[in-house]
Amino acid sequence: MAAALQVLRHLARAPLSPLLWGGPLARLASSMALAEQARQLFESTVGAVLPGPMLQRALSLDPDSGQLKVRDRSFQLQQNLYLVGFGKAVLGMATAAEELLGQHLVQGVISVPKGIRAAMESAGKQEMLLKPHSRVLVFEGAANNLPDRDALRAALAIRQLAEGLTADDLLLVLISGGGSALLPAPIPPVTLEEKQTLTKLLAARGATIQELNTIRKALSQLKGGGLAQAAYPAQVVSLILSDVVGDPVEVIASGPTVASIHSVQDCLHILNRYGLRAALPRSVKTVLARADSDPHGPHTCGHVLNVIIGSNALALAVAQKQAEALGYRAVVLSTAIQGDVKSVAQFYALLARVAAARLTMPGAGSSVEEDEQLFELAAELQLPDLQLKEALEAVVGTRGPVCLLAGGEPTVQLQGSGKGGRNQELALRVAAELGRWPLGPIDVLFLSGGTDGQDGPTEAAGAWVRPELTSQAAAQGLDVAAFLAHNDSHTFFCRFQGGAHLLHTGLTGTNVMDAHLLFLQPR
């Protein structure tokens, strides 16, 4: 069995051959080698946005003059550089920054996920680890991506460093996904527990990341431009690895170096929408009332340079090239997948059906009704960059395997108390939808994974599925619908075929939202 698996892995890394897919190995290759290729492409997606190389592309230092260049701006360094950071990719970013900046770096404080140093060391990722005598102090916290006392201590240490800077200093701020949970500093009298409870309630009711961050900023000392204000009058350069659809700098990690554009009325509108305004604790009402009557008005961040150095779009572009090298016709559908995970799953499953019909029966194609339904679903999701028409035209124009790539961050409305994450739930829902229709002589595989390597409070990054999953699960005595009803996707995948469909990468040290890969291969 081990030898057979090695052969299949070799086949997975080689360009696809029509003879292979049409020959006696077709079914075996489609079930194992296709899964191996899916994992390989997901790894390519993550590898494209590893923090060290991205930061090195964004920064350059002239050792003779001490000039630090950030894009088209230059800053004079004279041992006047300080560093703070928060997020899932910040450990690697800080390591690369310290190596580049050398003696000019005076001091640093970063807040990173709990256990990430041990995970990087265990994985042999030495390039992600600071040297033993580093000038950067590391705090680990936010277990399971939730703000906690450890993250609060880190936030207060970051604030203290920023408040001690002068006009002669330069503050380098490193920001990546997960930064909101790693920089919790509620405005008194709001407690960390009160803010955390409110955030959980909003998330459980389906609030978007933008809505969550609007509330977080209003209740935070450092978000919504608070960190930039604490650092004034020092110059601030913020290097940002985006984990938000569209890369809006005011939303990523709740915009600690971007002046907030939201008002108290925006917050109240969100709280009303999810039926939470009446249940607010007195402390939250006090802070919102105080902000509403602030005579100074909103502050500005004219002393800040914000630079996006990595994103979901960059990651998918690299994965697209890798898929093409493997013999696929590859198309990036969207980097802005949002909306309820149920609707997103229906969209992907119907897309697979329509694309499969065009791929296997170019003359006949899918039914007019299915085409209309697909475009209606797409319109309901309101994806601003969706390349649906272009993707379907590309499918018609090829006779070989197709890979459709997308990224974003769907939301899950919790109805049960099961264990899972949006990627595993999306994959399981796609499988349930795919199992409803015969797809004809074509192999289909769908993979959804979080680029940070952690999907919800689990050790999996996501999962991959095929149309036959529902019937195979039933043969094992597993009811897919029951697991979905309890938001228990992780438990399902752990039990199904011994967990073989789970995507395990470990913490990756980066984060640019999720990657969705849809493979279609004619038999």
pLDDT in tens, 89-121: 999 999 999 999 999 999 999 999 999 999 899
Mutual orientation of helices 34-47 and 2-13 as an angle, nearest 10°? Answer: 60
User: Domain check: are 304 and 335 in the same one?
Assistant: no
Q: Look at residue 377 and give its three-state secondary structure.
A: helix
Which residues neighbour 146 within 8 Å (Cβ) at sequence distance 6 or greater?
181, 196
**What gap in Å lies between CA 235 and CA 248, rounded to an integer?**
21
User: Domain check: are 302 and 346 in the same one?
Assistant: no
User: Domain check: are 304 and 370 in the same one?
Assistant: no
Tally the domains of the chain: 2
**What gap in Å lies between CA 492 and CA 470, rounded to an integer?**
11
User: Domain check: are 256 and 374 in the same one?
Assistant: no
490 domain-assigned: yes
Residue 220 has what DSSP assignment?
B
Output the domain CATH number for residue 83.
3.40.50.10180
Q: What is the pLDDT of residue 334?
A: 97
User: Domain check: are 430 and 364 in the same one?
Assistant: yes
Q: What is the pLDDT of residue 291?
A: 80
Q: What is the pLDDT of residue 133?
A: 94
User: Domain check: are 446 and 370 in the same one?
Assistant: yes
**What gap in Å lies between CA 362 and CA 472, rounded to an integer?**
30
449 domain-assigned: yes
475 domain-assigned: yes
**What gap in Å lies between CA 195 and CA 200, rounded to an integer?**
9
User: 118 lies in which domain range?
Assistant: 51-185+220-261+298-310
Please state the separation of Cα 385 from the chain's center in Å: 17
User: Domain check: are 323 and 430 in the same one?
Assistant: yes
Give the pLDDT of the chain (523 residues) as one tens digit per residue: 444 444 344 434 444 443 344 444 445 555 688 999 999 999 999 988 988 888 888 999 998 999 999 988 999 999 999 999 999 899 999 999 999 999 999 999 999 999 999 989 998 999 999 999 999 999 999 988 888 999 999 999 999 999 999 999 999 999 998 898 899 999 999 999 999 899 889 988 999 877 887 898 899 999 999 999 999 999 999 999 998 888 989 888 889 999 988 889 999 999 999 999 988 999 999 999 988 666 444 567 899 999 999 999 999 999 999 999 999 999 999 999 999 999 999 999 999 999 999 888 765 555 788 889 999 999 999 999 999 999 999 898 787 899 999 999 999 988 888 999 999 999 999 999 999 988 888 999 999 999 989 899 899 999 999 999 999 999 999 999 999 999 999 999 999 999 999 999 988 888 899 999 999 998 8
Structure tokens at 347: 């969209």
User: Domain check: are 148 and 74 in the same one?
Assistant: yes
Residue from 92, 86, 110, 98 nearest 54 by CA: 92
Long-range pairs, 141-146, Cβ under 8 A, ≥24 = 141/111, 141/113, 141/114, 141/182, 142/111, 142/113, 142/114, 142/178, 142/181, 142/182, 142/184, 143/113, 143/114, 143/115, 144/457, 145/113, 145/178, 145/181, 145/454, 145/457, 146/181, 146/196
Residue 416 has what DSSP assignment?
S
Q: What is the pLDDT of residue 7?
A: 39
288 domain-assigned: no
119 domain-assigned: yes
143 domain-assigned: yes
User: Domain check: are 342 and 382 in the same one?
Assistant: yes
Long-range pairs, 66-70, Cβ under 8 A, ≥24 = 66/104, 68/101, 68/104, 68/170, 70/237, 70/239, 70/305, 70/307
Q: What is the pLDDT of residue 29?
A: 53
Q: Look at residue 68 and give its three-state secondary structure.
A: strand
